[in-house]
Chain A
Amino acid sequence: MNRFDYVRPTTVEEAVRAIGSAANARFIAGGTNLVDLMKYNVERPERLVDITRLPLEAIEERDGGLGIGALVTNATVAYDDRIKSRYPLLSSAILAGASGQLRNAATTGGNLLQRTRCYYFYDDAMPCNKRDPGTGCQAIGGVNRIHAIFGTSDTCIATHPSDMCVALSALNATVRVTGPAGERIIPLGEFHRLPGDEPQRDTTLAADEIVLSVDLPDEDFGAHHTYLKLRDRLSYAFALVSVAAVMKRDGDTITEARFALGGVAHKPWRNAEAESSLKGKPATRETFEAAADIVIRQAQPQSENGFKVELARRAIIRGLSQAAAGTPQSQSDKRIA
């Protein structure tokens, strides 16, 4: 861990100035990922801008939906009554991740910005284009059973590790950010990016911008949602594949359905064609299989993660079945619904 200077602004304006005035500054809030990365010498910030005193800790009514301040902890979001009743998918996805202790410390903004769990990214003895651009990717052809099957490039096959963001993606959330150029709204689906030839850039957030809130649209899915997470142990592991699904039905007919996959790409993975294929169809296994097949047509597995393609297919089918049936996956009972 390198030496760094530390400032603790109390207003958003000060924070934006503080991040912009140092060449390599980082915001820190819960620190559950950044501090680890600093210990591993993956992140070597010259300055830490502690934003925990900023007034971004509220969950507020916004345009009929809810705005979640960037500093609201994961635990607070997951157990908030308004979230649980109106956006239970989000609550469920958060509770599928990390541990109680981490969720108490981790914030909404930090969760959006958490970095990949690729082994090579964390190991500064190994080449990694995301950590040290231009050094190469050892994960390609290496130990890559946890890596991406969609949207990879020949420079990076890392995945985004968040559970929360997968749910936000399916919910069509937006991210409200601000910077020297003022406030702007970024749809969740455009917030994270694919690696392309710039895998060092995880998001479209500018270096001098700050996340203010994550906003959830006014939309009600009733019980037709689920967050299904598959991993190498029953708790406290990153997803091999996860599915966040929401659905609206008119009798047996699906009127709208959206689903995002986690653990399979550099960002929460959506497929518009597969989602629209569900519209107007009966909520049957055949319908779900057809949608899943559309998704996995684009899969490009690596040397060790071919199983993820079939696992993703099956997870989509089960996730859509759970959402259709109104039997969302419980995160405490590990039996899969």
Chain B
Amino acid sequence: MKLSGGFSIGQFIPGESYIHSLDPRCKIIGAFILFAAPFIAKSPYDFIPIAFALAAITRLARIKLGTVLRSGRPVVFLVALTIVLNVFWTPGRELARLGPLSITEEGVTLAFCVGLRLYFLVMLAALLMMTTSPMAFAGGLESILSPLAALKFPVSEMAMMMTIALRFIPTFFEETDKILKAQISRGADFESGGIIKRARAFIPVLVPLFVLVFARAENLAIAMESRGYVPGVPRSRLNPLVWAARETTSILCVIVFIIFTVLWNRYAPELISLWLGLL
């Protein structure tokens, strides 16, 4: 049993690609604009340009497509649940019947769209985190949210908290794995019985994990303080944020893509029908 296997949300993959080298603010803003694309998709066809865009960005980032596709694993259960709920509970033209439940055409379309929407959102977020180091991400977010500092919102502290949280994701899973193995070696059984029995079996994992996390948090706070960190005090940067022409160009490309997807969503079904008719 390995909890951390394949989990990659938030795991930065160091690289020297064009996407890696973009200013983090550009990547965050770009990602948020791109997040709109799956939401404006209304039919399965509408996801075709999004898939192409995702593949293109993955290629530009020099990351394996498989790695990005696998990043959706943690939400597979959620996606499956959403699909099931939508397939059976959406009213419309009935395609088939399973006892009291009916499968409708609208339900199938909606389930497909909602599932793909979730999956694409996770992959886009993962791609952002894979190409942006937590420190750069926090720096970018801090800069974007800096106007909130005028309202006494602790922007830099929040950014530092995020950096540390992201930095500790692999460590956290490593530690969980170690505790799991230690408990298994002492006879704990996490794989048999019902949901309640399994959930109860995790208590001996959660207790030492919480103790460990709190101890680690305290030690880290001491180490940060000893290296001169003072919450809320401005810091300089090894890699200052630089917004150049290529960042503007990248954002423009994303905006053009969103306009294209809107047009695609409007005209693609007719164009595809026409094309299929011609064939």
Are chains A and B native binding partners rather than an unrelated pairing? Answer: no
